[in-house]
Each structure stands twice: as structure tokens, then as C-alpha cells.
A and B are shown apart, each in its own frame.
Chain A
Amino acid sequence: MVPEGARVQRSLGFFFREAIVRLGRGCNVLRLTFERSIHLWLLVPAGLLFLMFTVFPLIYNGYISLHHFQFIRRIFNFVGARNYIRLFQDGLFLSSIGNTLRFVALATATEVVLGTGLALLFNARLRGRRIMLPLVTLPMMFPTMVVCAVWVMLYDFEFGFLNNFLRFLGFSPIQWLSDPKIAMESIVLVDIWQWTPFVLLVILAGLQSIPDYLYEAAQLDGANGFQMFRHITLPLLSFQIKLAILLRLIDTFRIFDKVYAMTGGGPGYATETISLYIYREGFRYFNLGYAAAASLVMVFLVLGISILYARRMWKELRV
């Protein structure tokens, strides 16, 4: 017969041993789980910041957009979708969407075509390339307000360099910023001057990653320059080109500073863009509910276009 005390002692010992083993196993499972999902844990700080600074403001913006929120007079009344209805009844808002899309299309297309051309030129190992490349990329390093001030002087109808040059050549001067037919194109030109170098750098990086042996093999097969460009360069550059389009698309969609500094949305409403419209409603009239609705429309427009485009890009990349 085992004494009662010893039996209790043994069962206690068994219990503790079992507990330690199970704890060890549990820890092991935890450790393994942690190790397997370490990549997710590392994302937690960034995720929290994303929630705090992107998701929460977006949700809050959506909440505000359902209210008549007059900041100065401290009015905050629920109005449902009325702000959105008013937005789509406002001709100025609709024309500002049209102007923005026009700016996006013109600027992005020209910058990508020009940037690709310049990148091909710089990739051709020309003499003086090392000096020229930093010079060509200078415009994107200047503050936009300085760029605008310089271009406003260049565009001056009476005394500007461009019109003086046209007069010298015997042409009539152009109302660069005061003619509603070309004011938007004049601003697009400034954006092209400033941001084509960015596209150039993205494409040049892509070009330099294409191995030389592909061209050598093509040359051996008797391919000419255009054929090599069409069948080697262009397909291998397509990701960089699409990336440049996506980045410029998102950036040009937000166009505000150049329009604000150069035309203020004029002449008339010819260069009024969505950002300028939102700025005016939000920071000049302090109609924050209405401005929030307009900004949400803009976010969904950009997001819609970007997601569709990016999904296609990634799909092609996977293939």
C-alpha cells in the first residue's frame, strides 16, 4: 500500500511535470506560429499608422460628408446624401472634373512619351551624358511655386520671353494664360517641363536592366534598330512604362499648386480643377461637409482608376 501522502505527492509531481511539458509544447506552438507569421507581425506598426492616418480620416471624412458642417458658425447637421446630390448638380464641379481629366490625360501622355524618348537617348551612351543627366533632372528638384513664378514671367503677354521670341520671328504674341482655349495647355506645358525628368529616370532604370546579349542575339539574327526596339526594348520596358503612367496619373490628378499660382482657375473657369474646387469650399468658405463630399468623390475617382490599372499591371507581371 502506498501511503496517502506519497500518492498525493506523486500525483502533484505528475501534474506539474505534465503542466511544464504542455506549457513547453504550447510555447513551442506559439513560437512556431509566431515564426511562421513573423511577416504579418512586422506589418503591425505600419498597419496601425495606416489605420490612424489613412483609414480613420477616410471614414471620418465620409461621416462629415453626410453633414452640413459650417466650421465658422459651428453648424453640424445631418443631411444624408444631400451634399452629394448638390455636387452632381453643380455645373462648376462637373466642369472641374472634366478639366482635371483633361490635364491628367495631356500631362501624363506627353510626359511618358517624352520621358521614354529621352531615356532612350540617354541610354545610347552619348558623350556628355554624365553632365547632361543631372541638368535634365534639375526641374523636378525646384519648388513648384518657384517654377510657377518663373513660367508666369516667361508667359507674360507684353514682356515675356516666349512672346518676345515669337515677335522676333514675326509671329503674333500668344495669350498663354489669359486665353481660355489654351490656358490649360500652358499649365500642362509647365508640368511637362517639371516632371518629364521623373519619367526619364524610371524608364532609364528599366532600360539599363535589359541585358545586352538580347540585342547581340537579335543583331546576329539580322534585326534592325526598329525591330529590336519593337520586340525587345518595348516589351521589357512595359512594366516601367506602366508604372510611370500610374505614378504620373495619381500625381497629376491632384493638380493644385500650378493652377492656384498661375491662373487661380481662370480665365473664367477654364482651368478650374477638382482640388481647387475642394480648396475653395473647404478653406475659403469653410463648408467642410460639402468639401468632404467633393474630396471623397475625388478619392474614389483616383482610387478607381488606379486600382483598375494596377490590377491589370500586376496580372500581366505575374503572367
Chain B
Amino acid sequence: MRHWILISAVVVFLGCLVVGAEPVRLVFMGRDGPYEAAMKLAISLYKMVKPHVTIEYLGLPWAGLREKITIELVEGRGDFDLVVLDDPWTPEFLPAGFLEPLEPWFAKTGKVVDPDFIPTALALGRWPYPDGTLYALPIVGNVQLFAYRRDLFEKHGLKHPPETWSEVLVAARVLAEKEPDIFPVVFRGAKGHDIVVSFLPILFAYGGNIIVNGKSGVDSPEFLQAFKVYLELARYAPGDVSVYRAARLREVLLSGKAAMALEVWPAWIPELDDPKVSMVVHKVELVPHPGQVVKTAPMLGIWLLGIPATSKNKAEAFDFLLFVTSPEIQKVMALHVGNPPTLMSLYKDPELIARYRWYPAQLEALLAGVPRPRVPVWSRVEDILGGYMHEALIGLRTPEDAVRAAHEAIVAVLEEERR
């Protein structure tokens, strides 16, 4: 309740300042689903503060958003004033100067970048990464977490949370034997993006990466070792794990049919402890990923908000950008729609922790998080790797063969990119 009183006070105060201002219409292109709900909540609050500003929100699915943003930014028609970007898109868009640099706007308005922003998330809005010019601010603090059923681990005397992937394998073997009605492991195994993303925490824990210093890291021994562990874990997963995407994983986890999920994004499951939809209320723990050769290293999946360089309402767009990333609004979006914040202090907020008990673990994961490689051809690399890894998952190739084929194809793409 307290946050509502605070918001109302801010709204009334700022509202008084803008009475009589010229009407402005901003067009905002972003994601659909829970992200849209969060942004629309922020827009409705902003309307109270700045009644003269109308914001039209266009919510699109991931692929549609990427297509539309690309066309809008390259054509430079200036139809949009705010655009949401997934962090792997920034190496394509930021060097081309499609977004407005934000530092001059901070200087012009006498504001500073909030030092409370999670540094790993803020760095993704900069180009060159990680400390160049700031082009976008993080608005969704997504990071992978490891999920496991505490009740089952305790029942079978398993050490928890597992600290290494070897311990995860041991737990999977024990659970497969003792809990025949439950899948010991679930993960997103669908071809392409899903399989690559679900594998990354294991790869990072083994000290590998897909691109190392601009070259393919897929042929490294670390990669192969991590991939073999991944395939070993797949033996304890559902028979059709190779078609699992986020929605299916969420369904299986909430229905209590899974003992461990290799990766879960908190934005998917804000209702984990809601008895109306969850069969595992207070039974699932979300923790940072196990390590192996190196300490835990989950993958970051940050959504950023920026202003197209061709926008005709940059001042108003910048004002909204500050509003939506402010602690008050991020807190409201987290409480009401489960949008993960991008400010460190909010992960320590008692009211938010009471609602989302995994927030301290999420902050830990965010601070240690590793982004996907910062290369402009990431989508091609991801598709190549995701295709060959998928062939190994369904038994069409050996892990060695899949890794070799993926490496050769990635090398060719990177070489073509350099030409």
C-alpha cells in the first residue's frame, strides 16, 4: 500500500508542473505478454504525471519485434519514439548509430545515470561493450536461475542446492530411480535459440564460451566436455524434451512433474508460489546455477529501452525513459506484473522479497551473469549451433561430430562477417 501512496504523491506533484503543456504523442514498440502488461502499467502511471503525453504501445512477439525494429531503424522514418531491444541485438544496432546516445540528454537535463543500476545489465546498453557510449537503459532484469524441488532433495537425502554440475548428475540418477513418476530434469531442448540458451550455464561453468576473442570457441575441449554433460542430463529428461520451449517447461514445473529445471527465467514464473496455478507452492527453490571448473555463471537476458535517433520527440521519450526506470515505477511493475527490476536496491526490498523469495538469489545471478557473445552475427551463430546441437540431442550425430560441424560453420560465418 505504501508504494501506492508514494506513487500518488509523485503523480500529483509532477502533474501540477505540466498543466497547460502542448499535447505530445509518443509511439512505443516493445514486447507482448507479461512485458506488455508491465509497460502498459507504467504508461498509465505516466499519463497521470504527464496528462499531455499520450503513449501508444505496440506489443509484438520476439521475432516480429526484431523484424519491425530492424526495418524501422534502418529506414529511419521516425515513426517510433521508444524501442525495446533484446540484449543480443545491440551489437547489430548500436554501432550503426540507430539509437540516440543518452549521455547528452542526461547532461542537458542535469540528471545522472542511476548508480543503482545492476552494472552487468547497464553495460549491455553501451557500445563498445561494456564501457562505451550509453544508448539504452535496462528495463527487464532477466537472468537464468537453476530450479530444484527442495522437498524431493530432502526426502532422498540429496545435497542441496547442488554446487556443481556433477552433483546435478548424481541427483538426476538418484531421482530417476526413486521417483519414477517425476522427470528428474527438464530444460528447453527445442532447436535453435532454446537449446543453445539452456546449455549456456553448463558451458560457462566449464569455462567455455561460443565466441572467444572474436573466434569460434566451439572446438574447445571445455565445450565438448560441457556438451557431453548436457547430453547425459538429457537422458533423465522427458522423451520429447527436444521440442520443449519456455511455455512447456513452465507448465511441467508448475504441475510438479519435474525435479530440476536446468534454467528458468524469473519473468516466466512470478506465480510459482500462487496456489491457483502452482502445484509446488514453496517447494521449488530458485538459485544461481551450479559451477564446475569456474564458479556460477548464468546467462543474462536483459531487455533494454532506447530512443531511435530519428525520433521526433526525443525530450519526451527521454523523460519517459527516466520515469519507467525509476525505482518507484520498477517496484510497482515488479509487484503487480512480476517484471524483474534492473536496480540492485529493489532486490533487497523487503516487500518485494516477501513476494518473490528468490530475489536475493536473482541479484547474485545478475551480478555474476554473462551475456551472449557481443557479435553482430549472433542470430546466425545461434541458429547454426542450435541446429547441430539439436541433431546430437535427438541422436542423429555424435557430440564430437556435432561440435565439429558447428565449429566449421561458425568459422565460415565469422570469416564472411569480417570480409
**Taking beta carbons and an 8 Å cutoff, which residues of A are in contact with B?**
71-74, 156-158, 173, 175, 177-180, 263-269, 280, 283-286
Contact = CB atoms under 8 A, between A and B. Distances in A.
Interface in B355-396: 376-377, 379-380, 383, 387, 390-391, 394, 396
Interface stretch (B129-137, B139-147, B162-170, B238-246): B238-246
A264 B238 CA distance: 19
B36 interface: no
Given A71-B70, A178-B394, A285-B379, A266 B242 contact: yes
A173 B242 CA distance: 16
A177 B192 contact: no
Contact of A267 (B70, B96, B380, B390): B390
B63 interface: yes
Prevailing SS type, chain B contact patch:
helix
Given A72-B74, A74-B96, A157-B239, 19 more contacts: A71-B70, A72-B70, A72-B93, A72-B376, A74-B74, A264-B192, A265-B192, A266-B190, A266-B191, A266-B242, A266-B390, A267-B242, A267-B243, A267-B396, A268-B390, A280-B383, A284-B63, A285-B377, A285-B380
Contacts of B190: 264, 266
Contacts of B240: 156-158, 175, 177-178
Given A263-B243, A267-B390, A157 B191 contact: no
Contacts of B22: none
**10 cross-chain pairs, A with B, having the tightest CB-CB distances, nearest first:** A266-B191, A157-B240, A268-B391, A178-B240, A178-B242, A267-B394, A178-B243, A268-B396, A283-B67, A177-B243
Contacts of A158: 238-240, 257
Interface of B: 63, 66-67, 70, 74, 92-93, 96, 190-192, 238-243, 257, 376-377, 379-380, 383, 387, 390-391, 394, 396
B51 to A, nearest CB: 38
A264 B191 contact: yes
B394 A268 contact: yes
Contacts of B396: 180, 267-268
Nearest to B393: A267
Give the residue among B239, B241, B242, B387 with the most A Cβ atoms within 10 A.
B242
Contacts of A157: 238-240, 243
Nearest to B244: A178
B191 A73 contact: no
Contacts of B96: 72-74
B127 to A, nearest CB: 14
A286 to B, nearest CB: 6
Contact of B239 (A74, A175, A267, A283): A175
A266 B243 contact: yes
A177 B66 CA distance: 27
Give the residue among B63, B239, B383 with the most A Cβ atoms within 10 A.
B239
Nearest to A262: B243
Give the residue among B93, B241, B396 with the most A Cβ atoms within 10 A.
B396
A63 to B, nearest CB: 19
Contacts of B394: 178-180, 267-268
A175 B240 CA distance: 7
A286 B96 CA distance: 15
B191 A268 contact: yes
B367 to A, nearest CB: 31
19 contacts: A71-B70, A71-B74, A72-B70, A73-B96, A157-B240, A173-B239, A175-B240, A178-B240, A180-B396, A264-B191, A264-B192, A265-B387, A267-B242, A267-B391, A268-B191, A283-B63, A283-B67, A284-B66, A284-B379
A177 B189 CA distance: 13
A72 B390 CA distance: 28
Contacts of A280: 383
Nearest to B391: A268
A266 B396 CA distance: 12
Contacts of A73: 96, 376
A286 B239 contact: no
A178 B379 contact: no
A172 to B, nearest CB: 10
A158 B181 CA distance: 11
A284 B192 CA distance: 12
B304 to A, nearest CB: 17
A179 B239 CA distance: 10
B42 to A, nearest CB: 29
B74 A269 contact: no
B176 to A, nearest CB: 16
A175 B237 CA distance: 14
Nearest to B73: A72
Contacts of A173: 239
Contacts of B67: 283
Contacts of A71: 70, 74
Contacts of B63: 283-284
Give the residue among B190, B241, B376 with the most A Cβ atoms within 10 A.
B190
A263 B192 CA distance: 11
B191 A267 contact: yes
A77 to B, nearest CB: 10
A222 B191 CA distance: 61
Contact of A268 (B92, B241, B383, B387): B387
A286 B191 contact: no
Given A175-B239, A178-B243, A286 B70 contact: yes
Nearest to B383: A280
A264 B196 CA distance: 14
A73 B93 CA distance: 9
Nearest to A176: B240
